[in-house]
């Protein structure tokens, strides 16, 4: 059974301050080929998350200007996170229950990384599908 620490080992997550613009965040996401930015405060603590879905739904669809909108204005504040010692299936469960695609991995306030649905293997996804099917039949 894989744990979150196995997935984020040696990961260097993209972090930016709340004052960064959406345009800058999107440029960084494209350059790093990632789907999320972890938004941090002055002490590198997680305060939010900004994803490609946020760029579409909270910026473009609302007619905001990416170069004038800060991450703090459109991020998801206080995102749900997990410690690294949790089994990978727990992150998938959290994503399904929360309707999100990214989960920050935090240990004692320190950001270790972020996982997305694409990080998971068939066995973990199959197990979650099986659990979901069981609940739907009850």
User: pLDDT tens digits, residue range 106-121?
Assistant: 999 999 999 988 887 6
CA 23, CA 68: separation in Å to the nearest integer? 8
pLDDT given for residue 133 in this prediction: 55
**Spatial separation of the C-alpha atoms in residues 105 and 85, rounded to whole Å:** 10
Domain ranges of the chain: 4-137
CATH hierarchy code of domain 4-137: 3.10.580.10
- Over residues 75-98, the mean pLDDT reads 91
Q: Is the pTM of this model over 0.95?
A: no
Once rounded to an integer, what is the mean pLDDT over residues 121-132?
55
pLDDT, mean over the chain:
87
pLDDT of residue 5: 82
DSSP assignment letter at 32: H
pLDDT at 28 over 80: yes
């Amino acid at each position: 059974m894989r744990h979150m620490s196995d997935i984020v080992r040696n990961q260097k997550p993209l972090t930016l301050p709340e004052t960064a613009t959406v345009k800058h965040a999107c440029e960084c996401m494209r350059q790093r080929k990632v789907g999320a930015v972890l938004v941090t405060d002055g002490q590198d603590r997680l305060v939010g998350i900004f994803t490609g879905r946020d760029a579409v739904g909270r910026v473009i669809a609302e007619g905001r200007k990416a170069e004038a909108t800060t991450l703090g204005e459109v991020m998801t504040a206080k995102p749900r996170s997990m410690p690294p010692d949790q089994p990978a299936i727990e992150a998938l469960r959290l994503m399904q229950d929360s309707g999100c695609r990214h989960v920050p991995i935090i240990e004692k306030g320190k950001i270790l990384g972020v996982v997305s649905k694409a990080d998971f293997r068939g066995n973990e996804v199959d197990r979650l599908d099986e659990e979901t099917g069981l609940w739907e039949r009850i």
